[in-house]
């Protein structure tokens, strides 16, 4: 199957290498009595199996936190993240040279169209959502409302009691109120949206007229809740 590059991001982190020495007694000495294992011996590495030198790579907690945030956001928005550790790859490798010219702070997240987040401070939920726009999994609709010279505060208070109402804006001009609706039920259709508007909003005594727009397709940069995904994964 062809990989969808438009949904893949690359996260460059920079680990630090530490060379550590451990004293590891040979198996024969470990089998002897406890006093036989001399942990103060200066002959580290002198006998086979007695000493070892190992390389370990450590990622700072702030970079690890950014990695966790990016992976969590990507998973909920249908993206994949490829992680490249420049501490291991080396700054002269071709892939690093192509993407990280002028970079001074890590981690660095490169979006599908070249957008870049650089440094720990840039890894916020808002900026991660901005670099990973995704399809909305809940149906939204937008309703204009004309009110008959009534009390707009009362209309506002009543309308905001409906769970489907996510935003309400008071306007000047031909329309008095603009309402953003969101329907959590999977499979909600235009007919059901209009039924809600006519029964719940247009049914208010002060409301003279309404006009509702139901998008055919929507993309968002706002945070989304994992539960908003449909069970079919569409």
Give me the domains of the chain, ranges plus CATH numbers. 1-132 (no CATH), 135-228 (3.30.70.920)
Phi then psi dihedrals of residue 29, to 5 deg: -70, -35
Residues 203, 190: Cα–Cα separation, whole Å:
18
**Structure confidence by residue, pLDDT tens digits, 112-128:** 988 999 999 999 999 99
- Asked whether 234 and 134 are in contact (CB, 8 A), the reply is no
Q: What angle do CA 107, 113, 117 make, to 5 degrees?
A: 25
Q: What is the pTM of this model?
A: 0.68
**Structure confidence by residue, pLDDT tens digits, 144-171:** 999 987 678 889 999 999 999 999 999 9
Query: What confidence score (pLDDT) does residue 95 get?
Result: 57
CA distances from 153 to 28, 87, 121, 206 (A): 85, 59, 40, 11
Residues 108, 91: Cα–Cα separation, whole Å:
14
**Structure confidence by residue, pLDDT tens digits, 188-200:** 899 999 999 999 9
- Asked whether 117 and 131 are in contact (CB, 8 A), the reply is yes
Comparing 39-43, 63-67, 143-147, 160-164, the range with the smallest average pLDDT is 39-43
Residues 212, 142: Cα–Cα separation, whole Å:
6
């Amino acid at each position: 199957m062809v990989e969808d590059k438009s949904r893949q991001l690359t996260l460059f982190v920079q680990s630090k290498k530490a060379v550590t020495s451990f004293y590891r007694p040979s198996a024969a000495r470990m089998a002897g009595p406890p006093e036989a294992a001399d942990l103060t011996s200066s002959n580290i590495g002198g006998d086979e199996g007695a000493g070892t030198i190992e390389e370990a790579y450590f990622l700072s907690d702030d970079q690890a936190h950014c990695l966790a945030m990016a992976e969590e956001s990507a998973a909920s928005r249908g993206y994949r993240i490829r992680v490249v550790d420049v501490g291991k790859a080396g700054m002269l490798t071709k892939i690093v040279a192509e993407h990280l010219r002028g970079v001074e702070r890590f981690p660095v997240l490169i979006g599908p169209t070249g957008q870049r987040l650089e440094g720990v401070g840039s890894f916020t939920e808002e900026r991660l959502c901005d670099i990973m726009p995704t399809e909305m999994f809940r149906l939204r609709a937008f309703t204009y409302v004309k009110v008959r010279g009534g009390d707009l505060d009362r209309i506002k208070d009543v309308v905001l009691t409906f769970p489907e109402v996510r935003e309400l804006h008071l306007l000047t001009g031909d329309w008095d109120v603009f309402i953003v609706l969101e329907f959590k039920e999977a499979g909600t259709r235009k007919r059901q949206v209009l039924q809600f508007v006519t029964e719940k909003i247009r049914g208010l005594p002060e409301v003279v007229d309404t006009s509702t727009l139901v998008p055919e397709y929507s993309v968002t940069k706002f945070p989304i809740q994992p539960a908003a995904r449909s069970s079919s994964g569409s």
